[in-house]
Amino acid sequence: MTTKILIIGACGQIGTELTTKLRSIYGNDNVIASDIRKLNNDIVNNGIFEVVNALDYNQIEHLIEQYQITDVYLMAALLSATAEKNPAFAWDLNMNSLFHVLNLAKAKKIKKIFWPSSIAVFGPTTPRENTPQFTIMEPTTVYGISKQTGERWCEYYHHQYGVDVRSVRYPGLISWTTEPGGGTTDYAVDIYHKALEDEKFECFLSEETKLPMMYMDDAIRATVEIMQADADDVKIRSSYNLAGISFTPDEIANEIKNTFQNSPYLTNQTSVKKLQTVGQHR
């Protein structure tokens, strides 16, 4: 059976690069990108694109039937920083969009689901070094709470109904091709833009707050590989830990200053000295 993929939230930070990768593997005609609005970008212009509301069960079901979808990648979500501004909507979007695809899989409309979790499921009581797969989870953000709850529902639907749902816990993702999407770790991308724009950068994290990060290409590879794995090899149906590197805002600011000191891309060489982080605890 031909793999036919629907990506919900294809125009987001991860969805953009994931769509490009999946189209290169499965072909443009077999990867249907969708999002809440139609943008003028490569994702829309270089393949099949549909406007869909992730909260509308009937719209999703219609696309699945229209294109004979086998696999759904649910990338639509309100991320950490943005979710704190509108907790009720964040909960609605992050949870009910997941229920829609889980219930469609339960009804045998689709075969496989990829749903991303996040390091946001962890909290201040979680071990910070070599974080275990199974450990204390006491998230302190709306986004983290929704992801922790989503993990439990994924595992429940697998055990109760046999739904083939797969997930990884993304760390902060660093990409040069797409804009940040409102996550806590997005400062690690935005700080480079500010450096090139000759601006001072203010980070809402303290200088010494160390968070896990990963290059986007590695995260996309992990996503593709877990979906291509045999079902019997996927032992964890909540979400797998995924790790790369960790660094602080202070460390990345110093590296930028050192690297860009003689860069031809900066019109004012002395301006790099202004680049700093200002800790603002939330």
Q: What is the pLDDT, as a whole number, of residue 17?
A: 95
pLDDT in tens, 107-131: 999 999 999 999 999 999 999 888 9
pLDDT band at 10 (very low <50, low <70, confident <90, very high): very high
Residues 126, 71: contact at Cβ < 8 Å?
A: no
Report the distance separating Cα 211 and Cα 140, nearest Å: 15
Sheet of 5-8, strands arranged across: 49-51, 31-35, 5-8, 71-74, 112-114, 164-166
DSSP state of 233: G
Reduce the DSSP state of residue 170 to 3 states and report it.
Answer: strand
**In the predicted model, what is the mean pLDDT of residues 257-270?**
58
Q: Please enumerate in sequence order all residues whose Cβ is within 8 A of that of 165, keeping only pairs 6 or more positions apart, or say none.
A: 102, 105, 112, 113, 114, 115, 154, 157, 158, 237
**In the predicted model, what is the mean pLDDT of residues 36-55?**
94
- Which residue of the set 143, 157, 170, 187 is catalytic? 143
Residues 154, 102: contact at Cβ < 8 Å?
A: yes
pLDDT band at 282 (very low <50, low <70, confident <90, very high): very low
Residues 122, 79: contact at Cβ < 8 Å?
A: no
Q: Which two tokens stand for residue 175?
A: 């990409």
Q: What is the pLDDT, as a whole number, of residue 182?
A: 61
pLDDT band at 188 (very low <50, low <70, confident <90, very high): confident
Q: Is the pLDDT of residue 204 over 90?
A: no
Q: 26 an active-site residue? A: no
Reduce the DSSP state of residue 255 to 3 states and report it.
Answer: helix
Q: What is the pLDDT, as a whole number, of residue 190?
A: 83
H-helix or E-strand spanning residue 144: helix 142-161
H-helix or E-strand spanning residue 8: strand 5-8
Average pLDDT, the chain: 89
Place of tokens 């997005």: 186
Q: What is the pLDDT, as a whole number, of residue 281?
A: 33
Q: Is the pLDDT of residue 267 over 50?
A: no
